[in-house]
Amino acid sequence: MNQLLGAHTSISGGVSKSVELAEKLGFTAMQIFTKNNNRWFQKKLDDKEINAFKSKLDKSNIKFVVAHDSYLINLCATKKIILEKSRKAFLDELERCKLLGITLLNFHPGAHLGSGEEEGIKRIAESLNIAHEKTKDYNVSSMLETTAGQGTTIGYRFEQLREIIDRVEMKERMTVCIDTAHVFAAGYDIKDPKSFNEIIKEFDDIIGLEKLKCFHMNDSKKPLGSRVDRHEHIGKGFIGLEGFKNIMDDERLARIPKILETPKGKEQLEDLENLKVLKSLIKNY
Ligand code: ZN
Ligand code: MN
Ligand code: MN
């Protein structure tokens, strides 16, 4: 089976440019921001750009595209004005995905900022219910990303993601992405093969493997359980090649697209090196 592999790809020059770059680098999967990730809002995507994106994608070998939302959005912000801005911006992100034909919007659940995890989880679910209610006919799922648990961020335990999903009305709109650096920093030992196997079983028991639609493949600059989110090149961090071998060579996970978010320059040549390393770890599947 040919695994779908790629990286977060730049949209510099317009969203359709990302397809050209990803294709040039030989990706079969990619992630993009649909706008500047450090901005709340940006002008609407124009039809020309949308059509260019879609037609280039159609002709390419890229079979999987996920969008990542803006870093400013916090679906459980405590200040009313920020919460409302976040909800509006999230809606805008869903709309951009719909226009581009992207079916997955990856996002960080949120940071409770001292209000407590329980309160944060409730607020995130409420935000998602509002967004889904307003986008009933959209074929775009909200993809919860596992977090490192840095600061007051929520989503560093599978149980927390489960609780969010439980409170969301349109459960079919919910999917999950595992970020390897984040789960490792959160304390899940994916490096040890036996522990890795138990973690995947745990994920299946708590959330269900059918909800897992993507992996973010990043090594970690920080040790197990550090709760610090710092990405490193594959094999150069605390997860190491052993850890990535567990994922790349697991039959249960072979069908799940894998996206690098490792450090890179403008031309993204570092991605080629990291992908080569990942591919070298596939022995059986
Ligand atoms: Zn992310
Ligand atoms: Mn990630
Ligand atoms: Mn990260």
Sequence-distant (≥ 6) Cβ neighbours of residue 30 within 8 angstroms: 6, 7, 8, 9, 18, 19, 22, 62, 64, 65, 66, 259
Q: How many Å lie between the centroid of ligand 1 and the Cα of residue 53?
A: 22
Q: How many Å lie between the centroid of ligand 2 and the Cα of residue 135?
A: 25
45 pLDDT more than 90: yes
Secondary structure E strands in the chain: 5-8, 29-32, 64-68, 104-107, 110-111, 141-145, 153-154, 174-179, 212-217, 219-220, 231-232, 258-260
Closest listed ligand to the CA of 180: 2
What type of residue sits at position 194?
K
Sequence-distant (≥ 6) Cβ neighbours of residue 120 within 8 angstroms: 76, 109, 110, 111, 112, 152, 154
Instruction: Scan for tokens 């009313």, then name that residue.
Output: 80
1 pLDDT more than 80: no
Q: What is the pLDDT of residues 10-33, one digit of tens each?
A: 999 999 999 999 999 999 999 999
What is residue 285's predicted lDDT score, i.e. its pLDDT? 82
Q: How many Å lie between the centroid of ligand 3 and the Cα of residue 228?
A: 9
Q: What is the pLDDT of residues 198-240, one digit of tens each?
A: 999 999 999 999 999 999 999 999 999 999 999 999 999 999 9
- Segment 124-151 mean pLDDT: 98
Q: How many Å lie between the centroid of ligand 3 and the Cα of residue 182?
A: 6
From the list 272, 280, 256, the residue with the least C-alpha distance to 64 is: 256
Whole-prediction pTM: 0.98
What is residue 143's predicted lDDT score, i.e. its pLDDT? 99
Q: What is the pLDDT of residues 88-122, one digit of tens each?
A: 999 999 999 999 999 999 999 999 999 999 999 99
Closest listed ligand to the CA of 222: 3
Write down the domain spans for the chain: 5-280
Q: What is the pLDDT of residues 142-195, one digit of tens each?
A: 999 999 999 999 999 999 999 999 999 999 999 999 999 999 999 999 999 999
From the list 55, 70, 49, the residue with the least C-alpha distance to 23 is: 55
What is residue 128's predicted lDDT score, i.e. its pLDDT? 99
Q: How many Å lie between the centroid of ligand 2 and the Cα of residue 36?
A: 17
Q: How many Å lie between the centroid of ligand 2 and the Cα of residue 132?
A: 23
Q: What is the pLDDT of residues 64-87, one digit of tens each?
A: 999 999 999 999 999 999 999 999
Q: How many Å lie between the centroid of ligand 2 and the Cα of residue 179?
A: 5
Q: How many Å lie between the centroid of ligand 2 and the Cα of residue 216?
A: 5
| Residues lying with their CB under 5 A of ligand 1, a single-atom ion | 145
Would you call 107 helix, strand, or coil by DSSP? strand
Domain 5-280 annotated CATH 3.90.550.10: no
Closest listed ligand to the CA of 148: 3
Closest listed ligand to the CA of 68: 1
SS (H, E, C) 78-97: CCHHHHHHHHHHHHHHHHHH
- Segment 236-263 mean pLDDT: 98
Beta bridge partner(s), residue 174: 142
